[in-house]
Every structure is written in structure tokens, then in C-alpha cells.
């Protein structure tokens, strides 16, 4: 993917935050050996490791609740149906 955009080597990666979908793909972009040797730098916030470790620690309850709300798990049955132009759409 990167080579389709540029033939230049990747020199650095910035991990924007601790969610796995934002940092877990680095090995698909650069060789881990290049990171280990210092050829490619990885930058992250000072609290990155602590936040990553804590992702499912004290934050698990908040993450679980958020997933429930985003997914509609706490909606009442009458709130899971939407009618647009006479077409009924059901969430579940």
C-alpha cells in the first residue's frame, strides 16, 4: 500500500493513541528488525505504554458500556425500529 503512494522508505511511525486499531499494524508497514535496529523510529505519547496496558484494566467497564450504547443494546424494543417513507427499518 505505501509503495503505491511512494517508493521512499518509511522512516518513522506515529502511534496516535493506545487503541489496537491505531498501533497494531506497524509490522505490516515496516520490518520489526528495522524498528529494533533504530532504522525506523516509532513515536508515541509518554503515557502510551501505561494507557495500552490499562486498555482493559480499569477502563473495561467504560469500554463495555460504550459498546453497548453504540450498538443499541440498551434500546427499548419500540426504539429499535425506524420508519422512513413508509419503509420500516429494524436495528435488531
pLDDT at residue 40, as a whole number: 93
pLDDT at residue 2, as a whole number: 65
Higher pLDDT, 38 or 6: 38
Q: What is the pLDDT of residues 22-49, one digit of tens each?
A: 777 788 888 899 999 999 998 988 888 8
Are 48 and 64 a contacting pair, CB within 8 Å? no
Contacts of 88 (CB under 8 A, 6+ apart): 81, 82
Cα separation, 36 vs 20, in Å, equals 20
Q: Which range marks the domain in which residue 48 is found?
A: 2-90
Residues forming beta bridges with residue 81, ordered by sequence position: 90
Number of domains, the chain: 1
pLDDT band at 81 (very low <50, low <70, confident <90, very high): confident
Are 55 and 61 a contacting pair, CB within 8 Å? no
Cα separation, 19 vs 12, in Å, equals 19
The SS3 of residue 58 is coil
Q: Which set of grid coordinates corresponds to residue 40?
A: 525506523
Cα separation, 52 vs 16, in Å, equals 12
Amino acid at each position: 500500500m505505501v509503495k503505491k503512494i511512494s517508493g521512499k522508505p518509511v522512516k518513522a511511525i506515529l502511534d496516535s493513541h493506545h487503541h489496537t486499531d491505531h498501533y497494531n499494524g506497524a509490522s505490516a508497514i515496516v520490518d520489526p528488525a528495522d524498528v529494533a535496529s533504530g532504522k525506523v523510529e516509532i513515536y508515541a505519547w509518554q503515557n502510551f505504554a501505561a494507557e495500552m496496558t490499562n486498555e482493559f484494566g480499569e477502563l473495561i467497564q467504560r469500554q463495555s458500556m460504550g459498546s453497548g450504547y453504540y450498538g443499541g443494546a440498551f434500546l427499548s424494543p419500540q426504539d429499535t425500529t425506524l420508519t422512513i417513507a413508509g419503509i420500516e427499518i429494524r436495528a435488531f
